[in-house]
């Protein structure tokens, strides 16, 4: 069943608003009603200010009529993970410790989306301090997957995954330190981009592991993802880790297809312990690329266990340094699992932490040579098994917590350590009716190439045209 304005993609809505076919007020009203009802039912919403959102929408409409559009996202309602600071507005990071926190700075990415004309209509739920791959949150309750409420939506950008899939927002910023954009994108049937380290500013975003934190969009289509990335990418003097490279036009080659490109299908380490349904899904995706004229090669990916260990160690050490004061003064205010994981970080020796950082360049050069030496993209599963239920992964702070986290983020975490770009794309469904996601991992700053490959797959399969059963506007 079509959902009318709620069912439009971000890019389609932006074009319709620019041409005066629909108003920003209509779109914002639809989102706000959805967020207030279905959004709260699925526990995706951290906070909404409807009056401010509607006022902004009316202003956008008036401005368009008077002087044309402000930018490529003019009047489009977005909503973001509740960890992007906006001066004077609550930002609670899914954490009891941050309740009532009002920052005095605005994140660079929010400023850039504002400059592109987008509306920021809600704060969305997330895993406490962005530290968990399933979506569980002891303080705010665990959000539900719009494809099946008994299943996790993925984390830590749980609210963004749910809200965009359920047609409650047209796009959303997530953050990805070990898979937190790609996992909810895959679990909820969306497109998600973890950009190259240094492409997008983290200034004004809550830090988890500053060496591995990445900011990126979750959207319903590939074009939508490219549009959002275009708006937020580029050097930021407030984040010295950002690259000064010129930002390419991510949409320029979007429709040029996969012909002649090389896709490496990940075997070896990525096939160890993989569920047969997921393996079949990856093979089917590879077949689509072959049909589209891409050169498809199978690659025996060497073990990335050591890469994952170093990523875990860096995340642990950096998060422990950020949280040390609260750990001493308010340990009881953390969820059990989060506290346990942060405490582990305290125990890593400084020398080991620095070694793990210094090995990054070597690991990157090795991976580019061995795995991506002859390929435009590595095609690998985001998750090695079907999306689990909330109950199956509800382990709290007991001894299984590390195992669950390691298992769910196994395929995504190495890419954060290596700093490489990756696009999560839906590629069908498993027998439990939940979406299946693949990731296309590319060479540094190759986002445009990855988006082109993702778009070729999307155009051929219609993979982003499915609506979940719990969906606004139906």
Partner 1 sequence: MPTDSTAAAAEWLAAYLDMKLPDDQLLGAVRTTSRVAAGMTARAGALAMEDEPANFTAALERLAGAPK
Q: Which of 146, 160, 444, 468 binds partner 1 (CB under 8 A)?
A: 444
Q: Is 365 in the site for partner 1 (CB under 8 A)?
A: yes
Q: Which of 34, 132, 135, 316 binds partner 1 (CB under 8 A)?
A: 316
**CB of 243 vs partner 1, minimal distance in Å:** 5
Q: Catalytic: which of 172, 180, 201, 211?
A: 180
CA 303, 129, 237, 72 torsion-angle sign: positive
Binding mask 99-128 for partner 1 (x = CB under 8 A): ------------------------------
Q: Is 297 in the site for partner 1 (CB under 8 A)?
A: no
Say which residue the tokens 């700053």 belong to.
Answer: 445
Q: Which of 349, 396, 433, 469 binds partner 1 (CB under 8 A)?
A: 349
Q: Catalytic: which of 24, 30, 156, 319?
A: 156
Binding mask 401-440 for partner 1 (x = CB under 8 A): -x----------------x---------------------
**CB of 325 vs partner 1, minimal distance in Å:** 10
Residue closer to partner 1 (CB basis): 102 or 354: 354
- Half-sphere exposure of residue 79: CA atoms within 13 angstroms, side-chain side: 36
Sheet holding 435-441, edge to edge: 172-176, 214-219, 191-194, 422-429, 435-441, 377-381, 262-268, 295-301
Q: Where are the alpha helices (DSSP H) in 292-372?
A: 305-329, 336-346, 350-370
Residue closer to partner 1 (CB basis): 165 or 317: 317
Going by C-alpha positions, the residue among 351, 369, 376 that lies closest to residue 418 is: 369
Q: Is 163 a catalytic residue?
A: no
Q: Is 306 in the site for partner 1 (CB under 8 A)?
A: yes
Q: With contact defined as beta carbons under 8 Å apart, do 174 and 218 qualify?
A: yes
> CB neighbours of 21 closer than 8 A, spacing ≥ 6?
none
Q: Catalytic: which of 24, 81, 91, 157?
A: 81
Instruction: Please state, in angstroms and rounded to a whole number, the distance separating the CA atoms of residues 366 and 370.
Output: 6
Going by C-alpha positions, the residue among 142, 120, 233, 141 that lies closest to residue 187 is: 142
Instruction: Please state, in angstroms and rounded to a whole number, the distance separating the CA atoms of residues 141 and 443.
Output: 38
Binding mask 210-249 for partner 1 (x = CB under 8 A): -x-----------------------------xxx-x----
The whole-angstrom distance between residue 199's C-alpha and the CA centroid of its chain comes to 15
Binding site for partner 1 (CB under 8 A): 196-198, 211, 241-243, 245, 262, 305-306, 309-310, 312-313, 316, 324, 327-328, 331, 340, 343-349, 352, 354-362, 364-365, 368, 372-376, 399, 402, 419, 443-446
Q: Which residues are marked as active site?
A: 81, 156, 180
């Amino acid at each position: 069943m079509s959902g009318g304005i709620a069912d439009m993609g971000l890019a389609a809505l932006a074009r319709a608003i620019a041409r005066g076919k629909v108003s920003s007020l209509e779109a914002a009203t639809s989102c706000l009603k959805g967020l207030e009802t279905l959004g709260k039912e699925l526990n995706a919403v951290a906070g909404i200010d409807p009056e401010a959102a509607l006022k902004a929408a009316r202003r956008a409409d008036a401005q368009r009529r008077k002087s044309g559009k402000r930018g490529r996202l003019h009047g489009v309602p977005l909503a973001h993970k509740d960890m992007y600071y906006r001066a004077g507005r609550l930002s609670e990071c899914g954490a009891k410790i941050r309740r009532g926190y009002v920052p005095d700075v605005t994140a660079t990415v929010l400023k850039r989306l504002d400059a592109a004309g987008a509306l920021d209509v809600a704060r969305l739920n997330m895993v406490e301090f962005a530290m968990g791959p399933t979506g569980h949150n002891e303080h705010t309750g665990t959000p539900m997957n719009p494809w099946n409420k008994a299943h996790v939506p993925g984390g830590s950008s749980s609210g963004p995954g749910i809200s965009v899939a359920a047609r409650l927002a047209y796009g959303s910023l997530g953050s990805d330190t070990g898979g937190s954009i790609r996992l909810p994108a895959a679990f909820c049937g969306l497109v998600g981009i973890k950009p190259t380290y240094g492409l997008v500013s983290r200034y004004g975003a809550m830090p988890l592991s500053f060496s591995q934190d990445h900011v990126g969009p979750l959207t319903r289509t590939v074009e939508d993802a490219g549009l959002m990335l275009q708006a937020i990418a580029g050097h930021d003097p407030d984040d010295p880790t950002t690259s000064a490279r010129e930002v390419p036009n991510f949409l320029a080659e979007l429709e040029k297809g996969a012909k002649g490109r090389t896709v490496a299908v990940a075997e070896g380490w990525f096939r160890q312990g993989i569920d047969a349904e997921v393996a079949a899904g990856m093979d089917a995706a590879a077949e689509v690329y072959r049909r589209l004229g891409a050169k498809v090669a199978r690659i025996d990916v060497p073990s990335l266990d050591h890469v994952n260990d170093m990523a875990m160690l860096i995340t642990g050490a950096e998060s422990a340094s950020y949280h040390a004061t609260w750990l001493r003064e308010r340990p009881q205010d953390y969820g059990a699992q989060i506290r346990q994981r942060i405490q582990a970080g305290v125990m890593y020796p400084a020398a080991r932490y620095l070694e793990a950082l210094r090995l990054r360049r070597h690991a990157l050069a090795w991976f580019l040579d061995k795995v991506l030496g002859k390929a435009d993209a590595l095609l690998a599963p985001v998750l090695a098994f079907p999306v689990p239920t909330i109950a199956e992964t509800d382990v709290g702070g007991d001894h299984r917590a590390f195992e669950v986290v390691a298992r769910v983020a196994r395929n995504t975490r190495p890419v954060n350590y290596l700093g490489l770009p990756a696009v999560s794309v839906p590629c069908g469904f498993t027998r439990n009716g939940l979406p299946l996601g693949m990731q296309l991992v590319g060479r540094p700053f190759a986002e445009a190439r990855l988006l082109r490959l993702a778009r070729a797959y999307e155009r051929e399969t219609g993979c982003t045209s499915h609506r979940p059963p719990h969906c606004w506007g139906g």
